[in-house]
Amino acid sequence: QVQLVQSGAEVKRPGSSVKVSCKTSAGTFKNFAISWVRQAPGQGLEWMGGFIPIFGPAIYTEKFQDRVTITADESATTAFLELRGLTSDDTAIYYCARTTCCPFNAFDLWGQGTLVTVSS
Amino acid sequence: QSALTQPASVSGSPGQSITISCTGTSSDVGGYTYVSWYQHYPGKAPQLIVFDVNKRPSGVPNRFSGSKSGDTASLTISGLQADDEADYYCTSYTDSSTLVFGTGTKVTVL
């Protein structure tokens, strides 16, 4: 059974950047999209953006347009989320999710989540 | 892009049916059939339970059903069970080529 395995928890200082990875246990992302979703404490789920390796550049929500980069390695087996200019509001659990496409549609497989804590 | 609107909470007794609404606009829910629903237990990854408005992934009980009318999508859980107590979120594709979540609904089984 295919799994998405994310990197471990991170503690970051305000103003710094974080890069979270998401590796598929089998196959590649080439025929799928990968999305990143976050949940801040006490808040709901929030789609940050998505990436379809065979189609090129990622698409981001306006809120994250200037601070987020979503990429994948050349083998399309590991996806990455980089978030820059961290503030305490970015403290959240970050999930990668395989996303049916195209266009972006449903999240049919999720990673286990990565807790990012931003604190001075 | 604003979040889709869901009721904050819905409750029901075991065996009853409940319905969760998800209201958007013609630029998202009303304009596309790419509406999905997720069940989310705190501390665990969300799980897809409905996609394309009314389709269920393999393994999801037929107690969960989805529908849409105009700008509002709905998830109905029939034969409510104790382990249905969780948070539920809708999503929709949008005119901006993005996805947007609903505000989330906490389901309580009385």
Of A61, A99, A108, the CB nearest to B57: A108
CA distance A35 to A105: 10
In total, the C-beta contacts within 8 angstroms joining chain A to chain B are 71
CA distance B29 to B26: 6
- Cβ contact, residue pair B91, A110, below 8 Å: no
Q: What is the pLDDT of residue B1?
A: 79
CA distance B105 to B82: 16
Q: What is the pLDDT of residue A102?
A: 83
CA distance A39 to B16: 30
Cα torsion A95, A10, A24, B43: sign:
negative
State the DSSP H helix or E strand holding residue A81, giving kind and residue range, or none if neither.
strand A78-83
C-alpha distance from B60 to closest chain A C-alpha (Å): 12
Of A46, A59, A112, the CB nearest to B97: A59
Which candidate, B17, B32, B8, B66, places its Cα nearest to that of A44? Answer: B8
Of A61, A99, A108, the CB nearest to B1: A61
Spell out which residues of chain B touch residue A46, defining contact as CB-CB under 8 Å.
Answer: 101
Q: What is the pLDDT of residue B20?
A: 98
Q: What is the pLDDT of residue A35?
A: 96
User: Is B31 part of the contact surface with chain A (CB cutoff 8 Å)?
Assistant: no
Q: What is the pLDDT of residue A74?
A: 84
Residue ranges, chain B, pLDDT below 70: none
CA distance A31 to A39: 26
The SS3 call for residue B82 is: helix
Note the pLDDT tens digit of each residue in A93-119: 999 999 998 888 999 999 999 999 999
pLDDT exceeds 80 at position A16: yes
- Residue whose pair of structure tokens reads 């107590």 in the numeric block: B85
